Structures are given as C-alpha cells and as structure tokens.
Amino acid sequence: MEEKSLQTALDIYAALVTGQTVSTTDPETKDLYDAFYGDAAVYDITTALMKKLNLSLYEYNDALYMTAGDGNRVFGYTNEDMKRILGLKLNRELYMTYYVMYNVLLLFYRDSASYQVKEYVKTEEILEQVTSSLATVIKDLAIYSATDIEKEGFRSLALLWDELPVITGEERDRNKASRASRTGYVKLTMNFMIRENLFAAVQDRYYPTDRFKALAENYFEEYKGRLYQVLGGEQDA
C-alpha cells in the first residue's frame, strides 16, 4: 500500500511538472486528483515532495497547479533567463516587465474582498494602471521609509516609463511586443504570461486562466509584503 501511494504521488508530480492539469474534469488525471484528496498517504507524500523540491502546490476550482518556490533555480527562471526569453538587455528593462506583471495582478486582485471582479483586461487598462501606479509610488516613497536602493529602483522605472513614447489609436493596436514603446512593453509582458498559460488573448482582451487565478489568489494570501502596500493595496488584504 505504501509503495502504491508513493507511485501515485510520483505520478501527480510527473503530471504537474510536465504541464498537465490534475483536475476532476480531465479524464486522464481525475483519478490522481481523487487520490490526492482521498488518500492521506498520497497527500502527505506529494506535499512533502513539493516542499523538498521548493515547489508550491495550489488548488483552484477542483484542479491542482504547481509553481516554483522563491529562489528555485531548477524549476523557476533567473533574471538572466528572463532577459534572454524576453529579449531584454538591461536590468531596469526586466524590472519594468515585472512591474507590468504586478500591476496586471492589481487590476484583478487589489484586495482579498474583490477577487476576480473583472472578466478580462485590455491593453489600454494596463497602460493606465502602470502610469497611475508609478506616479503614486514616486510621490509617496518618503512615507514608507524605503531604502535608497528601493527609491532609486522605482525612480529608474518611472524614468524609463516616462521616456517611452505613448502610442494611441490604430497605431497602438498594430504596435508589436518590444522595448520601443509603453504598449510594446505591455505586449511583451503579456505574451510571456500567455506562454506560461496564465492568460488567453482574444484580440485586445486578455482573459485570465484558472492557473493565473490559482497562483494570483494564493500569492496575495501568502505574500502580504510592503511592496503590495507601496503599490496601493490594502494592508489587511
């Protein structure tokens, strides 16, 4: 029985690490999902394995999702990996994409009482959110007793965003993912999130997947740090 539980736990891990969804709606993995919650030994072995490998396991809408833990260099991406994937050269360019990602999160999950109030976001909404957020952060930096490094980091992002041209109308819609404009940065970032199965794109609309919802909601439950407060979130969210 113990050997069978171990094998089932390894099957769950293998499915998740190869990008499969372990859920009640997938005929290929339904038995694995049922075993995870129905067999205490399978549950304990699976969660212990994930913890040992610095992986986070989340459940959402009757499905299991796995993501790399903080600092996981085997299953996660380093900054150099991200620059290579996104075609970026400078750290501040990479941090700009991270900042765009975080503001996309805020568009859906500004506090724990308003989970998933939007069905989708559009490029224009993301542009407005990033612009507004940077302006607020720079104005209020002194309130949060931030270190000089943090202050300069936010100022660097604000300066980069300010230097980028604003493209509107049909030209904006034709603008490609690149470092050449604000719209380009947003599309560059969202293309990566689509590749990671966090969003699905329909024309100019970005719809969050269940994987995004699982990771995002658990992020706000687990990481209630000062950065979230600085960016305008609720302290007790």
Query: Is the C-alpha dihedral spanning 130, 235, 91, 213 positive or negative?
Result: negative
Distance CA 38, CA 52 (A): 22
On the question of pLDDT at 80 being above 50, the answer is yes
**Strand ranges (DSSP E) for the chain?**
22-23, 55-59, 63-68, 121-122, 199-202, 205-208
Residue 113 in any domain: the answer is: yes
Please give the pLDDT value at position 113.
56
Shared domain check, 106 and 59: no
Instruction: Choose the final residue of a domain: 39, 68, 97.
Output: 68
Shared domain check, 130 and 43: no
Say how many C-beta atoms besides its own lie within 10 A of residue 68's C-beta: 15
- Name the average pLDDT for the chain: 82
Instruction: Choose the final residue of a domain: 68, 98, 113.
Output: 68
Shared domain check, 130 and 171: yes
Is residue 229 within 8 A of residue 127, CB to CB? The reply is no
Instruction: Choose the final residue of a domain: 68, 97, 112.
Output: 68
Least confident of 108-122, 173-187, 214-228: 214-228
Average pLDDT over residues 107-118: 66
Confidence of residue 36 (pLDDT cuts 50, 70, 90): very high
On the question of pLDDT at 223 being above 80, the answer is no
Is residue 159 within 8 A of residue 95, CB to CB? The reply is no
On the question of pLDDT at 51 being above 60, the answer is yes
Is residue 46 within 8 A of residue 64, CB to CB? The reply is no
Query: Is the whole-model pTM more than 0.85?
Result: no
Please give the pLDDT value at position 203.
84
Average pLDDT over residues 203-221: 85
For 148-164, the pLDDT digits (tens) are: 545 557 778 888 888 88
Residue 87 in any domain: the answer is: yes
Residue 42 in any domain: the answer is: yes
On the question of pLDDT at 91 being above 60, the answer is yes
Shared domain check, 95 and 150: yes
Residue 114 in any domain: the answer is: yes
Shared domain check, 112 and 7: no
Q: Is 213 helix (H, G, I), strand (E, B) or coil?
A: helix
On the question of pLDDT at 232 being above 50, the answer is no
Shared domain check, 130 and 180: yes
Distance CA 182, CA 230 (A): 22
How many structural domains are present in the chain? 2
Distance CA 80, CA 21 (A): 28
Residue 73 in any domain: the answer is: no
Q: How far is CA 141 from the centre of its chain?
A: 24
Shared domain check, 62 and 147: no
Shared domain check, 158 and 85: yes
Amino acid present at 219:
Y
Please give the pLDDT value at position 236.
35
Please give the pLDDT value at position 157.
85
Shared domain check, 201 and 86: yes
On the question of pLDDT at 26 being above 60, the answer is yes
Residue 237 in any domain: the answer is: no
Q: Is 108 helix (H, G, I), strand (E, B) or coil?
A: helix
What percentage of the chain exceeds 70 in pLDDT? 77
Confidence of residue 165 (pLDDT cuts 50, 70, 90): confident
Please give the pLDDT value at position 96.
93
Shared domain check, 163 and 85: yes
Is residue 48 within 8 A of residue 6, CB to CB? The reply is no
Amino acid present at 230:
V
Residue 236 in any domain: the answer is: no
Is residue 38 within 8 A of residue 32, CB to CB? The reply is no
Confidence of residue 178 (pLDDT cuts 50, 70, 90): confident
Residue 74 in any domain: the answer is: no
Comparing 110 with 187, which gets the higher pLDDT? 187
Distance CA 201, CA 178 (A): 17
**Which residues form the domain of 222?**
79-230
Shared domain check, 181 and 114: yes
Shared domain check, 110 and 165: yes
Conformation bin of residue 45: beta by default, left when phi > 0, alpha when psi is -120 to 50 = alpha
